[in-house]
Structure 1
Amino acid sequence: MSKVVLITGGSSGIGKSIGEFLHHKGFTVYGTSRNPEKVLNSVFPLVTLDVRNIESIQGAVAKIIATSGRIDVVINNAGVGITGPLEEIPTSEIKNNFETNFFGPIEVMKAVLPQMREQKSGLIINVTSIAGYMGLPYRSVYSASKGALELITEALRMEVKSFGIHITNVAPGDFATNIASGRFHAPLIKGSAYEIPYGTTLKMMDEHVDSGSNPDDMAVAVYNIIQTENPKVHYKVGAFLQKFSIVLKRVLPDKIYEKMLMNHYKL
């Protein structure tokens, strides 16, 4: 019997690549989108789900269980980017980012855990970010939301392990997707104290995404995690230097690591 997989944010980017890879491997894949009727080229079914809406999440999960009878794997992939000087990011946008990147995945997990507990099995993979391991300039909110999800995962996997449920994080680096076009950019304000340094950093961030890794690398990584009997707590996927930056943060004194980041971003 093929495993039933739910992927939030499965209509584009990393989520779409993962879904297509798993579909071709014989999994029963359900992706989600806020507007699935607008997606015409999906090789797997898309159900309506907005991670900011609890009723939407519960409805989508109930629909999948009613159709397939179970949910074996959940990939919490839906997320949005956000950039800007913290001082100039509207609080409403900060809250929206956390609703999508942090509270949304929590509600998805709450919705699927009863079914997984009944099955006495299940795997939840939370897609976080290498940016969640460090506070990055002009990406403070994004780093914070993804870092919070990393810690929630560490705690929750211990709470549900006795039920036969596994939970893990997979943190991608920069991938060539449409995340840059979809994220909230605090506008460059003429005459702002942050105009020049933020402008320089924003240009660099967009270049990193444009030259990023192939999303298929994430699909292979997720497939390998699913095939693993006892997944690790953390996985990192991306360019060597991006993954190595996490190691450096662990071993270098804080101020030296901070200086390294500031030099990298020319601050």
Structure 2
Amino acid sequence: MSKVVLITGGSSGIGKSVGDYLSSNGYTVFGTSRNPDNYKDSNFPLLALDVSKIDTIKLAVESVIERAGRLDVLINNAGAGITGPIEEIPEEEIKRNFETNLFGPINVIKAVLPQMRLQNAGLIINITSIAGYMGLPYRGIYSASKGALELITETFRMELNDFNIKMTNVAPGDFATNIVAGRYHAPVANDSPYKKHYSNTLKLMNSHVDSGKDPALMAKMIFKIINTKNPRVHYKVGEFMQKFSIVLKRILPDTWYERLLMKHYKL
């Protein structure tokens, strides 16, 4: 029987790539978008869902179960970027980012758990970020929200162990997607004490995305995880040095690692 998969943020980027790949391999895929009518050419159905609005989450999950009769895999992919000196990012933008990157995924998980518990089976894959393993300059809020989701997953895995519901994180590095277009940027103000370094770091971050990996690599990893009996707690997908940076953080003294980051960002 074809597994039923729900992907949040399935209209573009990694979510669309994963949905297309799974659909072509026989899975029953439902994606989500805040504005599904804007994506009439999607290869799989898109349901209206805004992860910051609990009522839309409940309606989308209910729709999947009503149409497919079950829900086997949730891929929490919807997310948002945010950049800027923490001092200069408006509080409402910080809260909005956490609503999208942390509280939203938690609420989607809560919505699917009753059905997965009823089935005595399920898999939840949270798309986090390699940035969530370290505090990056001018990406601190993004790092914090994705890092929090990594830790939440660790807790959920233990709490769900009795119900045969599996959960894992997949942390991508830089991929060639449209994340820059949807990212909140604190403006580079002429009178800001951070102007020089923030402006240079912003250009560096954008160039990393432009030259990033093909999202198809994430799709293949997701496919592999779905077909793994007991998924690991953490997976990383990206350039060797991006993945190796996590290893370095684990083995180097904190101040040494900090200096490496500052040198990389020319701070």
Please indicate the TM-score interval, normalised by the length of the shorter structure: over 0.9
Q: Distance in 1 between matches of 2:208 and 2:46?
A: 30
Aligned to 2:221: 221
Given the alignment of the two structures, is residue 231 of structure 1 paired with residue 231 of structure 2, yes or no?
yes
Aligned to 1:205: 205
C-alpha distance after superposition, 1:220-253 (max 9, x if no partner): 0000000000000000000000000000000000
Q: How does 1:20-169 map to 2 (within 5 A)?
A: 20-169=20-169
Amino acid at match of 1:30: F
Q: How does 1:246-257 map to 2 (within 5 A)?
A: 246-257=246-257
Q: Distance in 1 between matches of 2:20 and 2:231?
A: 22
Q: 1:108, CA displacement in angstroms? A: 0.2
C-alpha distance after superposition, 1:160-194 (max 9, x if no partner): 01101000000000000000111000000002100
Amino acid at match of 1:150: E
Q: Distance in 2 between matches of 1:191 and 1:79?
A: 31
Q: Distance in 1 between matches of 2:28 and 2:70?
A: 11
Q: For this pair of structures, how many residues does the alignment match?
A: 267
Q: Distance in 2 between matches of 1:41 and 1:64?
A: 20
TM-score, normalised on structure 1?
Answer: 1.00
Aligned to 2:18: 18
Q: Distance in 1 between matches of 2:16 and 2:61?
A: 19
Q: Distance in 1 between matches of 2:258 and 2:214?
A: 29
Q: Distance in 2 between matches of 1:101 and 1:13?
A: 16
C-alpha distance after superposition, 1:91-142 (max 9, x if no partner): 0000000000000000000000000000000000000000000000000000
| SS of match in other structure, 1:70 | coil
TM-score, normalised on structure 2?
Answer: 1.00
Structure 1 stretches of at least 4 aligned residues deviating more than 4 Å after TM superposition: none
Identity %: 67
Amino acid at match of 1:120: N
Q: Distance in 1 between matches of 2:125 and 2:71?
A: 13
Q: Distance in 2 between matches of 1:137 and 1:21?
A: 34
Q: Distance in 1 between matches of 2:168 and 2:161?
A: 11
Q: 1:64, CA displacement in angstroms? A: 0.6
The gaps in structure 1 that reach 5 residues or longer are none
